[in-house]
Amino acid sequence: MTLKFRDIASRESLILGALSSRERATLLGMSKPCHFHSGKVIFSKDSPGETMMLIETGRVEISLTSAAGNRSIVAHLGPGDSVGEMAVLLGGDRTADAVATNDVTGRMLHRTVLMSFLTQHPRTTLGLIADLCRKLQSTTEALADLSTADGGTRLAKVLIGLFDRWGVEEPDGYRLTPPVSQSDLGDMAGLTRETVNRQIRAWQTEGMLRREGRELILIEPDMLAERAQ
Amino acid sequence: MTLKFRDIASRESLILGALSSRERATLLGMSKPCHFHSGKVIFSKDSPGETMMLIETGRVEISLTSAAGNRSIVAHLGPGDSVGEMAVLLGGDRTADAVATNDVTGRMLHRTVLMSFLTQHPRTTLGLIADLCRKLQSTTEALADLSTADGGTRLAKVLIGLFDRWGVEEPDGYRLTPPVSQSDLGDMAGLTRETVNRQIRAWQTEGMLRREGRELILIEPDMLAERAQ
DNA sequence: CAAAATCTGTGACCCAGATCACAGTTTTTG
DNA sequence: CAAAAACTGTGATCTGGGTCACAGATTTTG
């Protein structure tokens, strides 16, 4: 959590970041509790969406699947992040698929509630706009990068994001838990499972990271940051 | 302009799209005229930015250059589009480079003016948020695509965007004018100039498009849309 | 209007990473 | 707890597109 590349990775939560803790409490008071079992689809792309969720526990995977059936994982969200705010802010359909990879609990917020809250808090709204801009910029930069960077670099960037968000400090490094499968890593970095496998074992023999069962332990964060440029 | 893939391509202008014509007039009244000669740098990344420009005539190229010196063209903006709104909305530095590829005239708007306008028009602000979300979504989708789609598909998408925005209807097709060099096309699609060249001539012999000097004339829009999936 | 700069055209070669094809391991589940 | 399902490991091959290296064509500019 206190990984030094905190500043490199971009924040995922748009809504909550712009709120003061008082405002947050107000909003939460207008929400309803909800939960999803592991593996459940929270919503799928193009379905109508009137609500967003604030995650309290668990993990949610956001993904897009191309017409050709190629899946791409856009984000792994967790406690403190919000899911589905896009469709709510847009007033349209869901723009991606969301699946609970763990058991998830959170608070559900209805579109009308959020929108009236925003119209009453112009200052907060400007903060939200700034967050959206930041996110848009980092995505645009990623897009520019992606065409340039090679696979290893892309995978390194993905790992930085994951460790930054999910890494648990331990005596000998940072543990990524629960584990992320190599094919999921591939879907995040735009690589095949096989390539991910080879790259990770290469890094393992270089001593950058270690594995315990399916979990990765990052031993040399600096080396990883270096590898991502 | 009335190309059928209008709906595929995403709009570039964030600010103006959300305004009613009355509001637009109000904002324009608070702006100052400005102009840039062809080739002039309008602003460059990481410089402080307090103003944005509404383009009236001419063309502005927005680009990012990676540390490795790899340029990527993010957008070609023209009349009706706005330049530099990101830094203004963020209250921070410029997030990309902007260069006038033609002589450009427009109206300059100061940060303070825009911000106070927005706080006074919450409804418009929500529209702006929706626009930002749409843009964010299309960028995210492009990012997901990039790893999947092959070069030809990516170039096809770039061409769709260009013809949609700049194509001029003619008896035998749509003309892209002024011309865009093959290396620029490469910088937009994440390909080398050579690959762009080969792909374009392949399409030419297929009869999808034709060239006159450096200008492209799109003969079969459907074929191009098809090629982009 | 000639020289310089910037584009386009094309072949030869190379390589990162995809695909394919199995084998072994770990986890899930009935 | 055994069978099924889901991961990981690894070699053999294939290939899209990058890199290099020129040659010719157009545009710009002094």
B169 - beta bridge partners? B174
Q: Find the mean pLDDT for residues B183-208.
A: 96
Q: Find the mean pLDDT for residues A50-79.
A: 91
> For chain B, how many residues are written?
229
Say whether residue A168 is in contact with chain B using an 8 A CB cutoff: no
Q: Closest chain B residue to A69 measured between Cα atoms? A: B148
Per the model's pLDDT, the better-predicted residue between B166 and A17 turns out to be B166
Nearest nucleotide to B213, CA against C1' atoms: D26
Sign of CA dihedral B151, B153, B154, B156: positive
Report CA(B42)–C1'(C5) in Å, whole number.
Answer: 24
Q: What is the pTM of this model?
A: 0.90
Question: DSSP string spanning chain A?
Answer: ---GGGGTSPP--STGGG--HHHHHHHHHT-EEEEE-TT-EEE-TTSB--EEEEEEES-EEEEEE-TTS-EEEEEEE-TT-EESHHHHHHTSB--SEEEESS-EEEEEEEHHHHHHHHHH-HHHHHHHHHHHHHHHHHHHHHHHHHHHS-HHHHHHHHHHHHHHHHEEEETTEEEE-S---HHHHHHHHT--HHHHHHHHHHHHHHTSEEEETTEEEES-HHHHHHHT-
Q: Model confidence at B122, in pLDDT bands (50, 70, 90)?
A: confident
Per the model's pLDDT, the better-predicted residue between A69 and A124 turns out to be A124
Nearest nucleotide to B211, CA against C1' atoms: C8
Per the model's pLDDT, the better-predicted residue between B33 and A9 turns out to be B33
A217 - beta bridge partners? A175, A210
Average pLDDT of every residue of chain B? 90
Q: Find the mean pLDDT for residues B205-228.
A: 94
Cross-chain CB nearest to B70 (options A135, A139, A148): A148
Average pLDDT of every residue of chain A? 90
Q: Find the mean pLDDT for residues A176-190.
A: 95
Say whether residue A183 is in contact with chain B using an 8 A CB cutoff: no
SS3 B34: strand
Cβ neighbors of A201 (< 8 A, separation 6 or more) are: none
Q: Is residue B1 pLDDT above 80, yes or no?
A: no
> Edge to edge, what strands does the sheet with A51-57 contain?
A32-36, A104-110, A51-57, A82-83
CA distance linking residue A45 with residue A36, whole number of Å = 18
Cβ neighbors of A105 (< 8 A, separation 6 or more) are: A33, A34, A35, A55, A56, A57, A58
Q: Is residue A4 pLDDT above 90, yes or no?
A: no
The angle subtended at Cα B200 by Cα B199 and Cα B203, nearest 5°, is: 90
Say whether residue B156 is in contact with chain A using an 8 A CB cutoff: no
Q: Find the mean pLDDT for residues A137-152.
A: 91
CA distance linking residue A44 with residue A16, whole number of Å = 23
Q: Is residue A5 pLDDT above 70, yes or no?
A: no
Q: Model confidence at A9, in pLDDT bands (50, 70, 90)?
A: very low
Say whether residue A193 is in contact with chain B using an 8 A CB cutoff: no
Task: Give pLDDT tens digits for B83-112.
Answer: 999 999 999 999 999 999 989 999 999 999
Distances (CA, A) of A22 to A1, A19, A26, A27, A108: 25, 8, 6, 9, 18
Q: Model confidence at A23, in pLDDT bands (50, 70, 90)?
A: confident
CA distance linking residue A102 with residue A76, whole number of Å = 11
Q: Is residue A8 pLDDT above 80, yes or no?
A: no
A126/B122 Cβ within 8 A: no
Q: Is residue B5 pLDDT above 60, yes or no?
A: no
